[in-house]
Amino acid sequence: MADRDGVIWFDGEMVPWREAKTHVLTHTLHYGLGVFEGVRAYPTDKGASIFRLKEHTDRLFQSAHILRMAIPFDKETLNEAQRSVVRENNLDQAYLRPMCFYGSEGMGLRADNLKVHCIVAAWEWPSYMTPEAKELGIKIRTSSYTRHHVNITMCKAKANGNYINSMLALREALDSGCEEALLLDNEGYVAEGSGENIFIVKNGIIHTPELTSCLSGITRDTIFHLADEFGYTIRERRITRDEVYVADEAFFTGTAAEVLPIREHDGRVIGSGRRGPITEQLQAAYFAQVTGKRSQNPEWLTPVAD
Ligand code: PMP
């Protein structure tokens, strides 16, 4: 990953990819206090365009606000940085990684002289899952790890350190032959995947957990808009794992995972054992939306071209 051509935006400058380095005493590397985003740019008829850039940047600033981290750039600058890394790396589609982290100016939990550094990297990452997975769905398991409790960490912050929990859950799922984990909250109700929100469909109604300990997903919000347009009701409520077992359809949403059907959970086949019709309709609309093939919400796409 580190050894490739291209540029990374680093504290206001475009730096050659191989030179975008930081010291081993980088504070965030030691204690995990940093914030980041995962953003995608898609090919559209106006060239590569970033999907819901404003919302991602807003969430980055909210994450920093929660953690009391002062980002030394304004939103406009970081939005421009994201447009320019896609442009300067000549990408027609991209995954973008803005991140803000504390530098190596001090060590220890009490360090009070830390500088906040910001990067934006972009690279081609066509799909998180195979085309078959998008159609047939994936196999998931309930994690033995609980999703963070709201008073243990700040669940609304997309914070670097929060992802230890996600990685433990994901690795356990992969080790047991599944493709993703489903984490329950500390009371045993369904929360989310390692990096995705979850939806289930039962008798034509869509259900999704309340956000309580989940990240407020931007893809989740997009699904709310699309479902509303198609006349579906979405109920945000507590969901148990056995409701997922007997759902007609289930799917994950996330910037990386996009709209991903779930075909099996804890060895139970869900619905027909492949992508269900409502999932298919929402997934198709999502892909049309992100690639600028729908007329609704044109403000969600920001072309990277000047
Ligand atoms: N939950 C978690 C824990 C995540 O990391 C992500 C990915 N950012 C999501 C949900 C989905 O969020 P989004 O749709 O904004 O990518």
For residue range 10-54, list pLDDT tens digits in order. 999 999 999 999 999 999 999 999 999 999 999 999 999 999 999
What's the pLDDT score for residue 129? 81
- % of the chain surpassing 90 pLDDT: 97
Ligand 1 in reach of 37 Cβ (< 6 A): no
Domain boundaries, the chain: 7-123, 131-290
Ligand 1 in reach of 253 Cβ (< 6 A): yes
pLDDT tens per residue across span 152-171: 999 999 999 999 999 999 99
DSSP-assigned states of every residue in 140-164: EEEEEEEP--TTTS-TTS-BGGGHH
For the domain spanning 131-290, the CATH number is: 3.20.10.10
Ligand 1 in reach of 208 Cβ (< 6 A): no
Which among 300, 249, 234 is positioned nearest to 136, based on CA atoms? 249
What's the pLDDT score for residue 4? 95
Q: Long-range contacts of range 263-266, CB-CB < 8 Å, 24 or more positions apart? A: 263/136, 263/137, 263/138, 263/139, 264/137, 264/138, 264/139, 264/140, 265/139, 265/140, 265/141, 265/142, 265/182, 265/241, 266/140, 266/141, 266/142, 266/241
The Cα–Cα gap between 260 and 258 comes to 6
How many CA atoms lie less than 13 Å away from 236 in the CB half-sphere?
11
Ligand 1 centroid, distance to 150 Cα (angstroms)? 16
Q: Tell me, what DSSP letter sits at residue 7?
A: E
Helices (H) and strands (E) in the chain, counts: 8, 17
Query: Given 46, 158, 202, 293, which residue is catalytic?
Result: 158
Class for the domain spanning 7-123: alpha beta
Ligand 1 centroid, distance to 105 Cα (angstroms)? 31
Q: What is the ipTM of this complex?
A: 0.99
How many CA atoms lie less than 13 Å away from 293 in the CB half-sphere?
8
Q: Is the pLDDT of residue 222 over 80?
A: yes
Ligand 1 centroid, distance to 259 Cα (angstroms)? 12
Ligand 1 atom with the smallest distance to the CA of 256 is: 16
Q: Which residues have CB under 8 Å from 100's CB, separation 6+?
A: 34, 35, 36, 60, 64, 69, 71, 116, 117, 118
Reply yes or no on whether 21 is catalytic.
Answer: no
Radius of gyration of the chain (CA): 19
